[in-house]
Structures are given as structure tokens and as C-alpha cells.
Amino acid sequence: MRIIIRADGNVEIAMGHMMRCLSIADALRALGADVVFVTAGDESRGLLQARGYEDVVLGTSYCDMESELGAFLAYFRQQPARLILIDSYFVTRKYMEVLRTWARTALLDDLGEPAYPVDILINYNIYAQKLPYREVFQKSGIPLPEQFLLGCAYAPLREQFGQGRRSACREMVQDVLITTGGGDAENAAGALCGRIAEEIKEGRHRGIRYHVICGPFSGHREKLRLLAAGHSAFLIHENVTCMWELMEQCDIAVSATGSTMYELCSMRLPAVCFYFAENQRRMAEYFDRFTEIKSAGNIAENRERVLEGLLTRLTRLEEDGQLRRRIREQMETLTDGLGARRIAESLILAGMEVENANA
């Protein structure tokens, strides 16, 4: 069975969409599906090819998806598929209507509205089951999808996160993970580490190592390298392919919101979070409200307040073992790491329905 995944990853939108789609692609491939990626540009080609996937580049604008329909159709006619999975904030109603005339469609959604004509709607976020999808579709006059796949049980994590892996559970914190997304336009990692470095000079954070992830689109790589060169407490990790291995070593984490939050939950790695954009606010607020994973806020909106909030909560996590234990227990209720396989199974079944209908 052939399935197309339409997604993008680049400097402007970072790699979150692409990484979660790759997790689903791996699960689909494990179930015997033939998966190909279709992208607007070639920024993700190296990553996709390294993971063993074909990347069909349309040569269009990732933020003007209707303009790509002609190029996409020309390719689809040569290499048709039974199902197209779309992951983009730039889809339109017309775009989704057109694709649905070619094949069954599935859409990865984070926002809850507007409604789009689609066969399968996927929202794996902590808040997904609280969104008024039925009302939104009814108001839009669009029929409900045949399937809703909602909630953290569908978080599309890489296979290794579903293999019972767990973070370090030591009485004293020794290793801290700092991950700020693929681009980190605000240099949150560098700014936070700079403040930690000042406190180390004052005798705080003794014996703790800080593992800093430098994402593939980071414009602050040299600054982070210089920081690590002057402070043995900081280790910079570039081109990370085994995030779970780092998480296994660590006791707590600082993380930007996104799929990484669900990876942390699957690893039972206590964290404090923050975000860069308004479309990430809801996730951060739900974690803050329903767990003890606190949100420091939007760093693009109030940089100083967020950095201070991250440092304060990080210090509390370093010092409070009971708090870390409570957060691990809360994380255990959210995801088991098998969401990508659940999504893949639903997509395969939808594709088989097409085959049976055409038989």
C-alpha cells in the first residue's frame, strides 16, 4: 500500500511537523506500507533520505499550498497513493477538497479550528479531547471526519520511546537536558545557560551537567560552542539522532513545547516548559493546569520573565525529589509512547477500505 505524507520542515517553521510525520512513517513502514514524502522545498531532503525515504520536492511555497496543486497532481497521476497524510498550518478548505478527490485524506491538527473536509482527523495533544470539534464542523457545514484520533494516546513518538525506556531516577540530580526546538530563534538555550553559568560562579548547581541540544536550524551554534568551551558544566549536542539516549541519562529537563513534551512524558523525565508562538500556548497552559509541569510562558513575548521563570523552576526541580516523583507519576498517565503505531494502523485500515471498495 502506498501512502503520501505532505509536510515541510525549514528554518521558518522548524522541524516539528517533519519529525512527527517521520515517526508515523516509520510505523507505517513497519506495517508494510510504501511511504513517500512530498515537500515544498528541499530543506528536509537530507534528513528524509538518511531515514530511507524518498522526498518529492514540488519547488513551491510552503505557505501557499493552493499554488502547489498543479505540481502535486502531476506527480500524483504518475505515482498515485491510496491515502495522503497532511501536516501543515497552511492548508485551506479548497486544498483539502481537491486532495480528497484523489485519495483518502488524514490531517494532523493542533488548533481545533477551522474545520477542513478530511476522512481522518488526528490531534494527539493533551487538550485535544476538550476541543469542540463537532460544533466547529457543524458550524462550517462540513461533514464530520469518519474518524477522530484524539488525545495523548496518539502522540506520534519514535519507536524507541514505546519500548519501556525511562529517564534516570536518582536521588540527587546530576544531568539536566535543555532542548529548545530546531531553530531557537530567541536563543533561549544560550540565554538560560548564561544565567545558569552566573549562578554556578556563586556556588549553586554544584555537580550538575547541562546537556544542551543545538537544533539543525539553530543560528546560535557558535555562541553555544563558546559557552561550553568556557564552562565544563555545559555539553553541547549537535546532529542528535538518539534523543532517547540523552533522556535516559538525565534527571530533569527544560523544553520548548511541541512533540518533545510527549517524548519527555513517555520517558518520565520531569520538566519545565516554555513556548515561542501563540499556537503553542494551549499545550503549555494545559500542562501547567493539569500537571506540575509548569510553563514559564512565551519567550518571544516577555523574554526576561520567561528566563527568570525557567531558572526558578529548574532550581526547584533540582532540589525537590518529591516534586520530581509526583511529576513522573503524572507523566505516566499521559502516554505510553505507542501513538505512532496506533495512527499507522488506522491509516492502513483506511487505505484497505479504498482497495476493497475498488475491488
Q: Which residues of the chain are in CATH 3.40.50.11190 domains? A: 2-157+337-358
Side-chain-side CA neighbours of residue 88 (13 Å): 25
Is the pLDDT reported for residue 219 higher than 90? Answer: no
Given this model, what pLDDT does residue 357 score?
58
pLDDT tens for each residue of 48-97 = 999 999 999 999 999 999 999 999 999 999 999 999 999 999 999 999 99
Residue ranges of the chain that CATH labels 3.40.50.2000: 164-332
Predicted pLDDT at 279: 82
User: Average of pLDDT values for 125-132?
Assistant: 96
* Cell reading at 4: 503520501
Residue 164 scores a pLDDT above 70? yes
Q: In the chain, where do the E strands start and end?
A: 2-7, 34-39, 54-57, 83-87, 104-108, 120-123, 147-150, 175-179, 209-214, 234-238, 252-256, 271-275, 295-298
Q: Note whether 176 and 255 are within 8 A (CB).
A: no
- Contact between 113 and 136 (Cβ < 8 Å): yes
Q: What is the pLDDT of residue 174?
A: 97
Mean pLDDT, residues 245-264: 95
Residue 356: pLDDT band with limits 50, 70, 90: low
Question: Which residues are CB-contacts of 202 (< 8 A; sequence separation ≥ 6)?
Answer: none
Sign of the dihedral through C-alpha 62, 67, 73, 74: negative
The pLDDT of residue 358: 56
Please state the rounded mean pLDDT for residues 145-161. Answer: 96
Query: Do 42 and 178 meet the contact criterion of CB atoms below 8 Å apart?
Result: no
- 255-297 pLDDT, tens per residue? 999 889 999 999 999 999 999 988 899 999 999 999 999 999 9
Instruction: Give the confidence band of 228 by pLDDT, cuts at 50, 70, 90.
Output: confident
Is the peptide bond prior to 114 cis by the omega test (within 30 degrees of 0)? Answer: yes
Phi, psi of 214 (to 5 degrees): -100, 105
What average pLDDT does the chain have? 94
Per-residue pLDDT tens over the stretch 296-345? 999 999 999 999 999 999 999 999 999 999 999 999 999 999 999 999 99
pLDDT at 106: 98
Residue 359 has pLDDT above 70, yes or no: no
Q: For 2-157+337-358, which CATH class?
A: alpha beta
- Position 353 scores a pLDDT of 80
Band of pLDDT at residue 14, cut at 50, 70 and 90: confident
Cβ burial 60-75 (10 Å sphere, 16+ → b, else e): bebeebeebbebbeeb
Name the pTM for this structure: 0.88
Kindly tell me the burial class for residue 294, based on how many C-beta atoms sit within 10 Å of its own C-beta (0-12, 13-18, 19 or more): buried
Least-confidence region, from 198-202, 239-243, 285-289, 292-296: 239-243
**3-state class of 202 per DSSP?**
coil
pLDDT band at 109 (very low <50, low <70, confident <90, very high): very high
What percentage of the chain reaches a pLDDT higher than 90? 84
Confidence of residue 241 (pLDDT cuts 50, 70, 90): confident
Q: What is the pLDDT of residue 90?
A: 97
Question: Can you give the pLDDT at residue 317?
Answer: 98
Among 1.20.1250.20, 3.40.50.1100, 3.40.50.1360, 3.40.50.2000, name the CATH number for the domain at 164-332. 3.40.50.2000
pLDDT band at 354 (very low <50, low <70, confident <90, very high): low
